[in-house]
Chain A
């Protein structure tokens, strides 16, 4: 057929044929009523078959937070490989569908669209802007989500699981400990260098509350993730006479700030939030300064802790990933595995391995003990901070995972009564 003899009639005929095919409904996607099904007495939701339960993982594997994503993956595999070998959950193996968004919100939303019909829940959602962008979807899809974030801005979403205390409570406990142990008195100044975004803003909300309560003055410095050199901020805080400096920064920024302070003779103690430290920092020239000046406030146990959970993780790590850096994110990933297993077990017992069933099971967990991996968690009060106890840790090149304990889990009086305002 030569194109030059295409007539309007031919075009119309083609169009009509195409329309007929479409209207004939040749294998259109049929309405699947939310993948509902049941096997025996058990109601099942999307991603659940007789052999497997599929959970989604939407993480950063190639972007700026790939290190965290990797650590969490190691923890996840350590837990679930063992658990699946023991029979899994509800007679089914737990499998993971992993997607990388590279910290790009568009890719994350697209990847989520792909995941949502095939998985029962999200075992990991990493990245503050990604979590922020997907909040309405997670709620409307009733997708229980283990978010890799500790921001209290997520508390309003009943489907988001926070594993640990929130950033603001970390800072409150930290400031409280500093004031009792580092001789801070009323009117003293402390500084807070924090990252723009969920992470930093939430932490600074905590430090504001704590300094107000204790009569201290807070000097704030907001920075961006691409600020590699914190000399200017540290210089300014030194000039302001700060006795302690709080850090809610990326690990390299933490090292930069502490190293500059040490080099310039700035005597203050530095206290950082959980994601602000990485054991890789202890291989750099900043090691001595970090060991001397830095403390960490977190509800995640250090890898070197003596309780049963961390000990098990250490053994498993040494066997499986002997050459990889042992970060606390592995502990975190392992703990999340335990929590998800508890949720799935409870849902199975209730006979509802569905999205609604998972939420009910999750909200029934009033006292979650993780063998000492994380502070005790209470998920039975939606909208409330699940844990309020933190450790105080310090960098220690001699300890496995680079952190050793200074103070065991404790909860300050302010932390007990604190309610986030946003």
Chain B
């Protein structure tokens, strides 16, 4: 039974694919080829849909998708930190802000806006993005000694303090951040290709004009896919095992020779880099960032994403990110079709209020039904499917010891 906030994986929950049981020798269980092929087919189909989407979807879905990609990358980082390493950090939005503002300041140019001066290094955007990610990682690394001294919920709230201090700096350093008015985010360019809407010539793909959102969509898909694969590799390999050892039995891990502080620092470094990358994507998705965005509400949102998705699971982190970042907007868009809602301006349940109710109820119901999150629900469904498949197959080849069903 788990009673502590950091005992995040209950013993009898079906584990996600990233937490696969290992034999004592350390090699993963041999997988059967069928379901793996099926998985690849599904993934490929999904990828085709994603790649084709900008040809069909309007600006609302594209914009929403960009936010979802940014959230997914950041959520992967938090899933690593919380799910794999067991470090409860509520300060994720701070590292996201470092990535977002880092990219904006590094890629932006110095100019004078009225009386105030804005500083920027005018680096090539690709370089600025990489540096911003590294900067976020550095921030994480610097925070980790503090984190090493703290346990559980204390670490969580101390990291929350980081968010408030960070927001304070964002508001009070207008030369870097533009202050409360915000700062424009420079368009991303890679090898001469600009991910922006050009007024001179429009890129046409299959008859569809590709503007900033469409181009950024593909960047988002690529970055998220890379982040996802990187996460899975990490988690399946040695660092993943070490992190899980630190999470489950820290003292035992230390005895077995796992350098605990170093791995905790590593966890913070990598998760902050993921957060920074998510921040860069978020900045690009916005086009102009303001300090209000990077507050406690966002930090709690990331936590909700990884829990709703299923702690430690890569697919879960992405699903949770999509759920938390997209559902409120989607509900708000379609709430007006519900009958019996009062018009805005009068007392009564307006579509906006109904949308909020819907979101809160969805969070409650989802976690009530499956506290392990979407990943656990998925595993349960898959396991049920496999049992069903086994039962079907076993009809053809009855085992001597089992009665024919």
Residue ID in chain A nearest B287 by CB atoms: A136
- Are the C-beta atoms of A100 and B208 separated by less than 8 Å? no
Q: B264-302 interface mask toward A, CB cutoff 8 Å, 1 = contact, 0 = none?
A: 000000000000000000000111111111000100000
Residue ID in chain A nearest B114 by CB atoms: A422
Residues in B neighbouring A129, C-beta threshold 8 A: 180, 182, 290-293
- Are the C-beta atoms of A135 and B58 separated by less than 8 Å? no
- Are the C-beta atoms of A114 and B60 separated by less than 8 Å? yes
- Asked if B55 lies at the interface with its beta carbon under 8 angstroms from chain A, I say yes
Residues in B neighbouring A29, C-beta threshold 8 A: 55-58, 208
Q: In whole angstroms, how far apart are the Cα atoms of A29 and B52 in the complex?
A: 11
Contact partner of B208 (CB less than 8 A), chosen from A6, A31, A201, is A31
- Are the C-beta atoms of B344 and A61 separated by less than 8 Å? yes
- Asked if B146 lies at the interface with its beta carbon under 8 angstroms from chain A, I say no
Q: In whole angstroms, how far apart are the Cα atoms of A7 and B346 in the complex?
A: 60
Residues of B whose CB lies within 8 Å of any CB of A are 32-35, 37-38, 40-41, 44-45, 48, 52, 55-60, 62-64, 67, 113-116, 171, 179-182, 184, 197, 204, 206-209, 213, 285-293, 297, 325, 328-329, 332-333, 344-346, 350-353, 355-356
Contact partner of A25 (CB less than 8 A), chosen from B207, B285, B291, is B207
Q: In whole angstroms, how far apart are the Cα atoms of A70 and B293 in the complex?
A: 24
* Residue picked from B206, B345, B352, most chain A C-beta under 10 Å: B345
- Are the C-beta atoms of B55 and A100 separated by less than 8 Å? no
* Residue picked from B40, B56, B115, B180, most chain A C-beta under 10 Å: B180
- Asked if A371 lies at the interface with its beta carbon under 8 angstroms from chain B, I say no
Residues in A neighbouring B292, C-beta threshold 8 A: 105, 129, 197
Q: In whole angstroms, how far apart are the Cα atoms of A74 and B179 in the complex?
A: 33
Contact partner of B207 (CB less than 8 A), chosen from A5, A30, A99, is A30
- Are the C-beta atoms of A18 and B180 separated by less than 8 Å? no
Given A100-B332, A106-B67, verify A11-B44 contact (CB < 8 Å): yes
Q: In whole angstroms, how far apart are the Cα atoms of A62 and B20 in the complex?
A: 44
Q: In whole angstroms, how far apart are the Cα atoms of A135 and B198 in the complex?
A: 18
Residues in A neighbouring B207, C-beta threshold 8 A: 25, 28, 30-31
- Are the C-beta atoms of B37 and A3 separated by less than 8 Å? yes
Residues of A whose CB lies within 8 Å of any CB of B are 2-7, 10-11, 14-15, 18-19, 22-23, 25, 27-31, 61-62, 70, 73-74, 77, 98-100, 102, 104-107, 109-111, 113-114, 116-117, 128-129, 132-137, 140, 153, 156, 196-198, 201, 321, 324, 421-422
Q: In whole angstroms, how far apart are the Cα atoms of A56 and B286 in the complex?
A: 20
Would you give the shortest CB distance from A78 to chain B, in whole angstroms?
Answer: 10
Residues in B neighbouring A135, C-beta threshold 8 A: 182, 288
Q: In whole angstroms, how far apart are the Cα atoms of A152 and B63 in the complex?
A: 29
Would you give the shortest CB distance from B162 to chain A, in whole angstroms?
Answer: 18
Would you give the shortest CB distance from B22 to chain A, in whole angstroms?
Answer: 24
Residues in A neighbouring B116, C-beta threshold 8 A: 422
Residues in B neighbouring A136, C-beta threshold 8 A: 184, 287-288
Q: What is the interface of chain A mostly: helix, strand, loop, or mixed?
A: helix
Residues in B neighbouring A421, C-beta threshold 8 A: 114-115
- Are the C-beta atoms of B197 and A132 separated by less than 8 Å? no
Q: In whole angstroms, how far apart are the Cα atoms of A61 and B348 in the complex?
A: 12
- Are the C-beta atoms of A99 and B180 separated by less than 8 Å? no
Residues in B neighbouring A107, C-beta threshold 8 A: 328-329, 332
Given A25-B206, A133-B286, verify A113-B59 contact (CB < 8 Å): yes
* Residue picked from A2, A22, A321, most chain B C-beta under 10 Å: A22
| Nearest 7 CB-CB pairings of A with B | A4-B34, A100-B352, A114-B60, A113-B63, A129-B292, A73-B345, A3-B38
- Are the C-beta atoms of B329 and A111 separated by less than 8 Å? yes
Residues in B neighbouring A111, C-beta threshold 8 A: 60, 329, 332-333
Q: In whole angstroms, how far apart are the Cα atoms of A10 and B62 in the complex?
A: 31
Residues in B neighbouring A99, C-beta threshold 8 A: 332
Told that A3-B35, A98-B344 touch, could you supply 9 new A-B pairs with CB distance under 8 A?
A3-B41, A11-B37, A11-B41, A23-B206, A28-B207, A31-B204, A106-B67, A106-B293, A111-B332
- Are the C-beta atoms of B206 and A77 separated by less than 8 Å? no
